[in-house]
């Protein structure tokens, strides 16, 4: 029985790429899948190896947070529940102190390399799953996969993540060592694949996979979304070395020493044109039950000593009633933990009642994503944000003592100087209002996004090659820039970015001089230091990577 059989008749809709994706109209019976696709041979010694390759980033990057392999931990949990032996090879975690230059001296690599990985993969691994989340890492991960294939010529190699989902055919042809791609949300599709491989069945009729057969590219639609995520097992963290992340205090947000990643929701109901999420997740937004989320928080506190939760949700807060119920449950159970939303969230539901609940239950860091201070730009990128309302929400969060960061993008293809200056001026206004952090990025067309497809049709993007993917790393690098703006020169967009962020932090620190003294104490004194903004956290991360942890400790 194919996984699609667990659905009622699907309906089709069109993505920006005009590919018909399957979108379920009913709740998937997840528990049935664990029974239907359970391990058919419990006596077998074969294993599934799930790999997060070492990460790559510009040698001049100012922000390269090392994050826990949450996706792989979910995949492992599903396979384990269906009684398949599974291991996780977390290359960044296993080599978190190993940062080295690539042979061309342009990039840093963090984590154990392919040679060390091969030593750690069990000879019993007949199925190897590899996570490829970010397109800028593709050239490096491709070469890593080639080495894995050479060492395991008979294994089935399956990859998943945002990059292969957005560029399935390109990925398969550029790296023929890959057998299959899982498109989109991957847990149950991978489970079905493992079951059929172990049962000697064909895989080509499974929904949500892509492959090449006899030179022809085949794509079986997007993976059907899991509607009932309350039935999903929690991430299987016992398969990785959690202490590797706790000790250097790495975090996607602000580190507290024992930050653990979680998801309360999946997907995003919005369709911003610069974002690849509609391709990866479609627009179905699914929330877990409040009880299940809080139970997992309590479990992480008890099992791993977690003192902070990083929610990696694409859009964590959409429904006001859910977040109020969540904060009420946290308060009722009196869980001693801080939590944060470092990926960004919407402001529509963040009124004073909600923010009061966030602050009261330990939420200390919020990221707002206005993206632009220009109404024209917001309309063009389909960002349904009312800046006046967002400003009110931001000011309320600051009043309740929550650390706030803002995300902006300048240099969209259609933007003019007026639009960019509107963004800079709005950011500076927020700095004067004591907002803690801001990131002003230059637009890069990310594979899978609507704007990426438009620029390719216009021939504004050159042939896909390693240079293109490496240019995507400029988001966290102040030494180089690549822009696609039609009306403003590249050097000028680059200047606006540097100038905009410099002025923002000058104004922000001038408005709150204590931040200056905190930073100076961190830079020049030994002793305890707890970051109080994302800027301080990234300075801490750089110190950690340079081996200065002996002078930087947490209380």
63-77, 278-292, 298-312: segment of lowest average pLDDT: 278-292
pLDDT at residue 84 in the model? 97
Instruction: Report the share of the chain in percent with pLDDT over 70.
Output: 83
CATH class of 3-219: alpha beta
Percent residues over pLDDT 90 in the chain: 60
pLDDT for position 544: 60
Q: Indicate the Cα dihedral angle 283, 343, 505, 354, nearest 10°.
A: 90
CATH 3.80.30.20 in the chain, residues? 251-443+483-512
pLDDT confidence of residue 13 = 27
User: What mean pLDDT do residues 496-507 have?
Assistant: 95
Q: In the predicted model, is pLDDT for residue 476 greater than 80?
A: no
Flag whether pLDDT at 249 surpasses 80: no
pLDDT-wise least confident of 30-39, 119-128, 145-154, 496-505: 30-39
Q: Which pLDDT score is estimated for 107?
A: 86
Residue 530's pLDDT is what? 65
Res. 516 pLDDT band, cuts 50 70 90: confident
Q: Measuring CA to CA, which residue among 133, 126, 119 is closest to residue 89?
A: 119
Pick from 227, 218, 221: nearest CA to 208: 221
What's the Cα-to-Cα distance from 184 to each of 109, 208, 345, 391, rounded to whole Å?
26, 7, 21, 34
- What is the chain's mean pLDDT, rounded? 85
Smallest CA-to-CA distance from 286 within 314, 259, 254 is with 314
Least confident stretch, 127-141, 253-267, 410-424, 470-484: 470-484
Residue, of 507 and 19, whose pLDDT is higher: 507
- HSE-CB at 360 with a 13 A cutoff on CA atoms is 17
The CATH 3.40.50.280 portion of the chain extends over: 3-219
Residue 11: pLDDT band (50, 70, 90) is very low
CATH superfamily of 251-443+483-512: tm_1862 like domain (3.80.30.20)
Please tell me which residue, 250 or 60, carries the higher pLDDT value.
60
């Amino acid at each position: 029985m194919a996984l699609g059989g667990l659905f009622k008749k699907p309906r089709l809709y069109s993505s920006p790429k005009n590919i018909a994706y399957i979108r379920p109209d009913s709740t998937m019976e997840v528990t049935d899948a664990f029974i239907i696709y359970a391990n058919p041979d419990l006596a077998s010694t074969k294993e599934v190896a799930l790999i997060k390759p070492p990460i790559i980033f510009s040698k001049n990057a100012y922000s390269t947070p090392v994050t826990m392999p949450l996706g792989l931990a979910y995949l492992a949990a599903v396979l384990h529940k269906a009684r398949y032996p599974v291991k996780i090879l977390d290359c960044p975690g296993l080599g978190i102190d190993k940062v080295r230059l690539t042979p061309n001296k342009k990039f840093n690599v963090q984590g154990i390399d392919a040679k060390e990985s091969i030593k750690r993969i069990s000879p019993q691994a007949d199925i190897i799953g590899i996570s490829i989340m970010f397109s800028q890492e593709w050239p490096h991960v491709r070469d890593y996969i080639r080495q894995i294939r050479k060492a395991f010529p008979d294994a089935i190699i399956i990859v998943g993540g945002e990059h292969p989902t957005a560029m399935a055919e390109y990925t398969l042809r550029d790296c023929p060592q890959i057998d299959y791609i899982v498109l989109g949300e991957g847990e149950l599709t991978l489970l079905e694949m493992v079951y059929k491989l172990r049962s000697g069945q064909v895989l080509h009729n499974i929904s949500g996979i892509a492959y090449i057969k006899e030179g022809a590219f085949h794509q079986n639609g997007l993976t059907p979304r899991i509607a009932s995520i309350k039935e999903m097992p929690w991430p299987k963290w016992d398969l990785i070395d959690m202490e590797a992340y706790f000790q250097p205090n790495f975090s996607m947000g602000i580190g507290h020493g024992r930050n653990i990643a979680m998801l309360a929701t999946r997907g995003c109901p919005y369709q911003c044109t610069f974002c690849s999420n509609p391709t990866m997740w479609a627009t179905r937004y699914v929330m877990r039950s409040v009880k299940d989320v809080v139970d997992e928080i309590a479990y992480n506190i008890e099992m791993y000593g977690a003192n902070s939760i990083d929610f990696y949700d694409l859009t964590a807060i959409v429904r006001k009633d859910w977040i109020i119920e969540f904060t009420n449950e946290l308060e009722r159970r009196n869980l001693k933990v801080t939590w944060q939303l470092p990926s960004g969230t919407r402001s529509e539901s963040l009124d004073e009642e909600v923010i009061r609940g966030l602050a009261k239950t330990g939420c200390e860091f919020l990221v707002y994503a206005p993206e632009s201070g220009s109404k024209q730009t917001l309309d063009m990128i389909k960002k349904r944000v009312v800046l006046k309302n967002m400003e009110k929400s931001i000011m309320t969060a600051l009043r309740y003592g929550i650390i706030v960061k803002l995300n902006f993008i300048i240099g969209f293809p259609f933007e003019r100087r007026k639009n960019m200056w509107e963004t800079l001026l709005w950011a500076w206004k927020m700095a004067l209002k004591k907002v803690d952090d801001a990131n002003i990025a230059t637009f890069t067309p990310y594979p899978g996004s609507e704007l990426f497809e438009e620029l390719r049709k216009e021939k504004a993007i050159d042939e896909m090659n390693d240079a293109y993917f490496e240019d995507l790393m400029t988001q966290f690098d102040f030494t180089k820039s690549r822009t696609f703006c039609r009306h403003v020169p590249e050097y000028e967009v680059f200047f606006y970015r540097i100038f905009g962020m410099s002025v923002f932090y000058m104004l922000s620190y001038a408005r709150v001089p204590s931040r200056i003294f905190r930073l100076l104490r961190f830079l020049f004194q030994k002793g305890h230091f707890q970051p109080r903004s994302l800027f301080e956290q990234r300075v801490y991360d750089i110190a950690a990577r340079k081996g200065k942890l002996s002078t930087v400790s947490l209380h």
